[in-house]
Structure 1
Amino acid sequence: MEPVEVTRGTLPVVLGLPHTGTWVPDEVADGLNETGQALADTDWHIDRLYEGLLPGVSTVRATFHRYVIDANRDPSGVSLYPGQNTTGLCPTTDFDGRPIYRDGAAPDDAEIERRRLAFHAPYHAALEGELARVRAEHGVAILYDCHSIRSHIPFLFDGILPDLNVGTAEGTSCDPAVEAAVIGACRQAEGYSEVLNGRFKGGWTTRHFGRPADGWHAIQMEIAQSAYMDEEPPWTWRTARADPLRALLSGILHDLARLAPTLKGTTA
């Protein structure tokens, strides 16, 4: 299996999907314990949630699971949230802090580098290539990074996560108009809680590719899984919750596509 799938579209918007993959190569799967083999920290159904919402959008999707290597972490291994609990480039625990490897099977530095070259680097090369293509064609590219997570994970954050968590690296990863369009739509939507640059300010992808001065705008949307699915195995999709959320997300993506041409003047 290839580590990344790319669908080339015709619009200036690119969807990043780093955590929907469930492929774990045999040499990695053999070292996982029962907790790791459950793959509980997948961004379940996120590709289905966004499917068809914006015809002509480009997508870049990692096929490998985040337990192989996390495509949204700094490849140097530096923490995105210093001083806070998180999982690393090649996680050794799940989101509840429980080990995911059998004793002695966790990857060493050489294995982490092998996985970086085999999985992390190809994903980001594909993403960069697609953003560059879109930027060259439209004069601007907007990366919308798609994520989800359980709404209650005491190991990572206190309390209940808002439904919609928008991250722009404290406003540095995109033009203010991009941030305003996304968080504004979230605030106007009935029945959803939202936060801007709260616990999730945007991962490495948003921070790395967010270069608004060069016409590359990046924003992360982290959705609480309770907004569209059951948060416990078998992680069932709930249409009654998902359909109104899809309508909201469709409006956001269409707004970004309409907004993009107005951002050309900010490019270098």
Structure 2
Amino acid sequence: MTAPVVEIVEGDSPIILAAPHAGTWVPEPIRARLSPVGQALTDTDWHVDRLYRDLLPGATTVTARFHRYVIDANRDPGGQSLYPGQNTTGLVPEVDFDNQPIWRAGEAPDADEIQARVDRFHAPYHAALAAQIERVRARHGLALLYDCHSIRSQVPFLFDGLLPVFNIGTDDGRTCAPAIQSAATDICEHAAGFSMVVNGRFRGGWTTRHYGRPDAGVHAIQMELAQRAYLTSERPPFAFDPTVAAPLQTVLRDLLRALEAAAQELKP
């Protein structure tokens, strides 16, 4: 079986929606080496591409179709940790978010294979994303990269307690103009029935930190959503629930419109 490494839909908005962890494609030779835990693909950002679909007409979308167990498109390709001193998973994870091995004994990839996966998967995804950022910036004078993520609400290996629904990450304000962070914060703070935090456990991954250069006209923000806000259950089969998701999508639509308006105000 083959699948595209990345899917791109070009739009005319200054907003780019990136989804590095929505993909579930694992090439069969790699899948065969995963443990039963790994083959469950539990750590997918389940249906996050569907969740955002059509919420902002004109938004560009860049979606990785390979799974994060193949290689994590939101990690430094050199392997540097995003959160030194904290539990996390690597460029090619060895364990899942519950600290369980995802590879069969002796089947984890070595350094040469990891580099080959960088070349085959990670690099093409980011080449596509970088090209869209440049295209959008050339059109508007700036680009706003919104990195779409989701995760189970309770993952003790990674964080304590129940995760807020909205987790805004800007690397402590470094990756976007203050007006961008304020626009996102204002919408989420006033979203009835939802909890939120800014630069909490998730301050923005490699994508946000790598591309977010406000002084150069590229603003980046990560949104990590708790999956209880749109799934039927945070257990297999991780089904999307349109009824549960509808209130969240209303807030996300307002959020994206607010970010687009803020971006328009920042145009040079």
- Using the size of structure 1 for normalisation, the TM-score is 0.98
Match of 1:207 in 2: 209
Q: Which of residues 231, 235, 238 is equivalent to 1:232? A: 235
SS at match of 1:233: coil
Q: Gaps spanning 5+ residues in structure 1: where? A: none
Correspondence for 2:31:
29
Which piece of structure 1 moves more, 185-194 or 235-244?
A: 235-244
Which of residues 231, 234, 253 is equivalent to 2:256?
253
Q: Which residue of 1 aligns with 2:245?
A: 242
Equivalent AA in structure 2 for residue 167 of structure 1: G
Partner of 2:156: 154
Distance 2:244 2:186 in 1: 21
Root-mean-square deviation (CA), in Å?
0.7
The count of corresponding residues between Structure 1 and Structure 2 is 265
* Aligned-partner Cα distance in 1 for 2:212–2:157: 28
2: CA distance, partners of 1:257 / 1:187 = 18
Q: Helix, strand or coil for the counterpart of 2:223?
A: strand
Q: Give every structure 1 segment of 4 or more consecutive aligned residues whose post-TM-superposition deviation is greater than 3 Å.
A: none
Secondary structure of 2:267's aligned partner: helix
Determine whether 1:105 maps to 2:113: no
> Percent of counterpart pairs with the same letter?
58
Residue number among 225, 228, 235 corresponding to 1:223 in the alignment: 225
CA apart distance, 1:254? 1.0
Which residue of structure 2 lines up, in the alignment, with residue 79 of structure 1?
81
Select between 228-237 and 7-16 the one with higher mean Cα deviation: 228-237
d(CA) in 2 for partners of 1:80, 1:62:
20
2:147 maps to 1:145: yes
Deviations 1:138-164 (A, max 9, x none): 001000000000010000111111110
1:239 CA drift (Å) = 2.2
Instruction: Give 2:125's aligned residue.
Output: 123
Give the TM-score of the pair, scaled to structure 2: 0.98
* 1:257 CA drift (Å): 1.5
- Deviation digits for residues 100-122 of structure 1, max 9, x if unmatched? 00000001000000000000000
For 1:238 and 1:22, how far apart are their aligned partners in 2?
Answer: 19
Q: Secondary structure in 2 aligned to 1:118?
A: helix
Aligned partner of 1:250: which letter? R
Cα deviation per residue 1:66-115 (whole Å; 9 max; x = unaligned)? 00000000111010000000000000110000000000000100000000
How far did residue 264 of structure 1 move? Answer: 2.3
- How many angstroms does 1:263 deviate by? 1.2
SS in 2 for 1:185: helix
